[in-house]
Amino acid sequence: MIIDKLDSPVEGSLMPTPGGRFYTDPQIFALEQEHIFEKTWNCAVRSADIAEAGSWKVVQVGREQLIVSRNRRGEVRAFYNVCRHRGMRVCTQESGSGRTFQCGYHAWTYDLDGKLVAAPNLTRMPDVDRDQYGLRAVAVREWLGYVWVCLADEPPSFTETVLGEVVTRLGDVHHLDNYRIEELALGHRINYDVAANWKLIIENFQECYHCATIHPELTNVLPEFAEGWASQAFVNHGAEFGEGIDGFTVDGAAGVGTLPTIAPDQDRRYYAITIRPNVFVNMVPDHVIMMRMVPVSAERTIVECDWLFVPEVVESGTDVSASVELFDRVNRQDFDACEKTQPSMSSAVYADGGVLVPAEHHIGIFHDWVRDKIGSGPSADG
Amino acid sequence: MIIDKLDSPVEGSLMPTPGGRFYTDPQIFALEQEHIFEKTWNCAVRSADIAEAGSWKVVQVGREQLIVSRNRRGEVRAFYNVCRHRGMRVCTQESGSGRTFQCGYHAWTYDLDGKLVAAPNLTRMPDVDRDQYGLRAVAVREWLGYVWVCLADEPPSFTETVLGEVVTRLGDVHHLDNYRIEELALGHRINYDVAANWKLIIENFQECYHCATIHPELTNVLPEFAEGWASQAFVNHGAEFGEGIDGFTVDGAAGVGTLPTIAPDQDRRYYAITIRPNVFVNMVPDHVIMMRMVPVSAERTIVECDWLFVPEVVESGTDVSASVELFDRVNRQDFDACEKTQPSMSSAVYADGGVLVPAEHHIGIFHDWVRDKIGSGPSADG
Amino acid sequence: MIIDKLDSPVEGSLMPTPGGRFYTDPQIFALEQEHIFEKTWNCAVRSADIAEAGSWKVVQVGREQLIVSRNRRGEVRAFYNVCRHRGMRVCTQESGSGRTFQCGYHAWTYDLDGKLVAAPNLTRMPDVDRDQYGLRAVAVREWLGYVWVCLADEPPSFTETVLGEVVTRLGDVHHLDNYRIEELALGHRINYDVAANWKLIIENFQECYHCATIHPELTNVLPEFAEGWASQAFVNHGAEFGEGIDGFTVDGAAGVGTLPTIAPDQDRRYYAITIRPNVFVNMVPDHVIMMRMVPVSAERTIVECDWLFVPEVVESGTDVSASVELFDRVNRQDFDACEKTQPSMSSAVYADGGVLVPAEHHIGIFHDWVRDKIGSGPSADG
């Protein structure tokens, strides 16, 4: 594989990036919220966080706050967190559980499928259709141990879009299935508040031309990253551990034990997938790192990062800090770079954008995807 | 009275509310400032706060800061707090007193009627008309022990608008006069900073469909409120104290002694009036609670709440905390509901608004009044 | 000189100021940034702060962040602080030094003249022109011991604009040369964060009609200022020290020794120059006070103030606090007045502006200059 990469056309031209306005304009951000985050599948909540019937969690998707919950039949449900009477937030905590959803203002009460089941004087208001005035539902789906939601009235095919991204990267979704992510347990979670546009974070994740400069620990474990080629520039390429590296840890020491179901050629390798718009999946032999982005404004993004291990590791209290610390450092290095890039996006020098070197050209596919979603043309690319 | 209410048509249809934009759009808020708060009578300052000649207080009305003061003849005056020379704030403290108003920048000096009376070299500037360059005055009026101001060049009739609101609610302004509010003294004052549109606060104050859900102390004192009908849905209805309730206090214990001038049928009852745009008056047998709203932005409102008692109660240091605590709790419960409603106003689900149940239909009169003031049509109601 | 001033036409008419929007409108502020601060010469950095080859400092000019540095030949250089690859800030500290500028993201590296000299894989990207992809440079000039920069593609004549301002004020630039400001050393520096539009600060600096009201210490030293005439209303007028005043200090006590090169008629006098758009120069017999303004928004300005003395005074550790304290108090008094003026600029009463008395009429020249720069007409003056 490394041989293949050295054969790659690193010689080549520079490609232009979008102009700086792409990363600062509130109108472009609003278009992205409307046409990307509110129209595609977003990874929203860890399934285990709403394991029991009646448990729920509140999350932000696009510009909307949703309640993601589980009904008595064990099915996940997601609703806008807006009472249909006068609009108060129905759930006012981050998470909780109960047999119904009752609005705290006038006690309009909905069952776990969102249907209006009670309200003061409701029996004397015969024209109130209890389904019509139920909580407004959105499309929902479980996969990889997470609840995915889509606000669109007619959601795109999950297979073609979400799974399609995996196929594009790995060639076949079975390469991902091997990790049995849905069976893993949460070992650690960190939320990062990043003062940068969400697209800078995706661009950063997709290229490794910066790895030699800012990621000493990562390039120690994965020496090929120092050459500047990201795994994501190739189909099903996993960056190989260096000689003497025993695990994907901050110092290359052994991790917590290889996942029993991965293929032999997945051992001693790091794979990464970007599932647009808001998910990064990082797979290493003994754990998986799931990252979800929640854009807050054109210049701010929340990134939630979960480190997942086999349940026995988590339940036994095994020390996973050396594993967590490696990617936590990588995250902080990356987000620091994004935060120091954001301010320049409004400079006159960057009005027409910068350039992508050959090892970054595949980022252009992402730029085209965004432009296509929000409507192409000069208004969108500065 | 309670019999009358049970006969009321609680059966009925749902009525639509305005769309969420009504509560979030800065342009609608600017129209409200211009056409409502800067054109109607606002209750601005407690008269006793500027009791002496030369005393003054600075207040915000609409988008303007005013000086409200009293001249040597004991008359109240109100001026824009803007020096006519280079514009500096003339009064730079919250309150004070003096024989003139002197701008701290270039010492332009105005008398207590706003006339320009001195400035460096003024005698050598013969073309300066001292009235023309006086502080710009606004209409002013004392009533209920408060100074009411109106920024309009041609203020509407105080009798038809302010007193008209009282007549609409109580049938006759004499029902209010009985409380002799202008003779009461300030026992306690609390300012609330509420993260909600001012109209949500008015809507909340006008209906009692929420009382059973969020006001346990209030419905303990006024059991009929648990049925969901607000006093303000009826003419001159006062909600009656429950059996075993001795006063309008947090635990229903006796208050501080019935006001000597109220009518027998006003005893053991709570009356409420909304004087649009910014005043709530709450009358109970032994005190009066005056509330004034100052809108800060589409999503923030300051509410100033005064508890008024007969002067002897205040001067003697009688403990009024049980009286204050009841309505302070009611306020906090109400404002909490408003703050948890505000965020949903920007949800797509609330773009076309929510619904009013029959017991809330009278709120629609308020919506129509606002729409009429700011110019009706689709632009104003989302 | 004082006689001359008493002969001046203090009798006269009032002149209108611009309307309040001139000081609050973000669109006018953007026009000022584009057409004033980004087109004229700005005093940016003290030369001594980048004395050595390779030393640099980051500064804000208009809406841009610049690197101001010195190359190996001792020449000053200024560049936009934007990497030409993906846009990250090249210098991420306030100041520093080095042999090259290396971007911390992908290690693109520029020499001290801004030329691209190294980048990963650069040798395999033959089409990358190292000058074209060098740091974008801006015009630069040293004068008075400061680096002046101009972002315009075709900078205006330094002689006609910057030196022209000095000639307008002093009649001849030699009157300024006498102070040999470029040879002075920094004795003290204070940065002020002022919640006011930059033009209010310039207007304040240009007139002394306010001096009697707010500057007791200054008028003690310079009694003629109490009459309301600013030095800047006249050509080459220096306000004379009062009788019994021994120096330009907070209490009029002796300063640190007269500068050896000033003319006899410059002793015991205070001269002030406004070099539009962003510099004030204050000259007294024993020191010079240089002030630079950095507008942040329509309602906020940073003012950097340097007190300069002969190097021997600074090196010997002589106590200069009595000198510093006088103008520090003057600054705080002035900025306080500006901050109390800013809020009124959005009042309806100030929509058409205020007035200038005869002793302030020369401020109108500044208003005309701004209007002319940003495009005249009703859109610019409220």
Query: How is residue B179 annotated by DSSP?
Result: T
Q: A–C: how many Cβ contacts below 8 A? A: 91
Digit-coded pLDDT (tens) for C217-237: 999 999 999 988 877 778 888
Q: Residue B114: give the domain boundaries.
A: 42-150
Question: Do B84 and C357 count as a contact with CB atoms less than 8 A apart?
Answer: no
B228 in a domain, yes or no?
Answer: yes
Which residues of chain C does A13 touch, with a Cβ-Cβ cutoff of 8 Å?
125, 127
Using DSSP's 3-state secondary structure scheme, residue A3 falls into: helix
Asked whether residue A84 falls in the same domain as residue A176, the answer is no
C215 and C137 inside one domain: no
CB contact under 8 A, A64 and B347: yes
Would the CA dihedral through C101, C106, C108, C109 be positive or negative? positive
The C-alpha of B51 sits at a distance from chain C's nearest C-alpha, in angstroms, of 27
Residue C46 and residue C33 in one domain: no
- Residue C4: HSE in the Cβ half-sphere, 13 Å Cα cutoff: 11
Nearest to B225 by CA among B275, B169, B269, B192: B269
Lowest mean pLDDT among A199-213, A296-310, B368-382: B368-382
Closest CA of chain C from B49, distance in Å: 24
Please give the Cα distance from B336 to C281 (Å, whole number): 55
Looking at the structure, do residues A318 and A252 belong to the same domain, yes or no? yes
Q: How high does pLDDT run on average in chain A? A: 93
- What is the complex's ipTM, to 2 decimals? 0.93
Cross-chain Cβ contact B89/C341 below 8 Å:
yes
pLDDT digits (tens, 9 = 90+) for C67-112: 999 999 999 999 999 999 999 999 999 999 999 999 999 999 999 9
| pLDDT above 90 as % of chain C | 88
Residue A128: CB atoms within 10 A of its CB come to 20
C311 with C258, same domain: the answer is yes
Among the partner residues A11, A210, A214, nearest to C124 by beta-carbon distance: A11
Give the confidence band of A126 by pLDDT, cuts at 50, 70, 90.
Answer: confident
Q: Above 60 in pLDDT, residue A89?
A: yes
Q: How far does B158 lie from chain C, in Å, by closest CA? A: 23
Contacts of B137 in chain C (CB under 8 A): none
pLDDT computed for residue A376 by the predictor:
61
Report angle CA C117, C120, C125 to the nearest 5 degrees.
80
Q: What's B7's domain CATH number?
A: 3.90.380.10
Assess if residue B53 is contained within a domain. yes
pLDDT at site A11: 62
pLDDT of C124 reads 86
| pLDDT value of residue A6 | 39
Do C31 and C103 fall into the same domain?
no
* Residue C335 shares a structural domain with residue C241: yes
Judging contacts by C-beta atoms under 8 Å, the chain C residues touching residue B133 are 355
Q: Which residues of A touch B355 (CB under 8 A)?
A: 84-86, 133
Residue A158 within a domain = no
> Does a structural domain hold residue B321?
yes
CA distance B84 to C17: 11
Answer whether B106 sits within 8 Å of C349, measured CB to CB: no
**CB spacing of A210 vs C105 below 8 angstroms:** yes
Contact A136 B349 (CB under 8 A): yes
Name residues whose C-beta falls within 8 Å of residue A215's C-beta, 6 or more positions apart in sequence: A225, A329, A330, A333
Question: Which pLDDT value is given to residue A247?
Answer: 97
User: What is the arithmetic mean of pLDDT over C340-365?
Assistant: 96
User: How many residues appear in chain B?
Assistant: 382
For residues B131 and B224, membership in a common domain is answered with: no
Measure the CA angle with vertex B195, ends B193 and B198; round to 5°: 85
- Examine the domain organization and report whether A71 and A18 are in the same domain: no
pLDDT in tens, chain B (382 residues): 333 443 455 567 899 999 999 999 999 999 999 999 999 999 999 999 999 999 999 999 999 999 999 999 999 999 999 999 999 999 999 999 999 999 999 999 999 999 999 999 998 888 889 999 999 999 999 999 999 999 999 999 999 999 999 999 899 889 999 999 999 999 999 999 999 999 999 999 999 999 999 999 999 999 999 988 777 778 888 999 999 999 999 999 999 999 999 999 999 999 999 999 999 999 999 999 999 999 999 999 999 999 999 999 999 999 999 999 999 999 999 999 999 999 999 999 999 999 999 999 999 999 999 999 999 644 444 3
Contacts of B12 in chain A (CB under 8 A): 125
Looking at residue B10, what is its pLDDT?
53
Cis, peptide link before residue C126, omega less than 30° from 0: no
* Average pLDDT of the residues in C344-353: 97
Same domain, C142 and C211: no
C113 pLDDT higher than 70: yes
For residues C230 and C285, what is the distance between their CA atoms, to the nearest angstrom?
A: 18
Q: Are B231 and B272 in contact (CB under 8 A)?
A: yes
- Contact check, Cβ <8 Å, B120/C341: no
Same domain for C194 and C116, yes or no, is: no
Instruction: Write the residue in A12, A348, A354 that is nearest to C86 by C-beta.
Output: A354
Residue C155: inside a domain? no
B228:A121 CB<8 A:
yes
For the segment A141-167, what is each residue's pLDDT rounded down to a tens digit?
A: 999 999 999 999 999 999 999 999 999
User: How many structural domains does chain A have?
Assistant: 2
Domain-embedded: residue B216:
yes
> Are residue A222 and residue A354 in the same domain, yes or no?
yes
A124/B340 Cβ within 8 A:
no
Angle at A372 between CA A366 and CA A378, to 5 degrees: 105
Residue of A nearest to B335 (CA): A105
C32-69: pLDDT as tens digits: 999 999 999 999 999 999 999 999 999 999 999 999 99
pLDDT of residue C12 exceeding 80: no
Cβ neighbors of C310 (< 8 A, separation 6 or more) are: C183, C184, C185, C257, C259, C260
B359–A84 CB contact, under 8 Å: no
CATH number at residue B136: 2.102.10.10
Q: In this structure, are residues B24 and B18 in contact, taking their beta carbons and an 8 Å threshold?
A: no
Q: Does residue A381 sit within a domain?
A: no
Q: What band does C10 get if pLDDT is binned at 50, 70 and 90?
A: low
pTM: 0.94
Closest residue in B to C338 (Cα) is B88
Average pLDDT over residues A191-210: 97
With a cut of 70, say whether residue C1 has pLDDT above it. no
What pLDDT was estimated at residue B381? Answer: 42
In-domain check, residue B361: yes
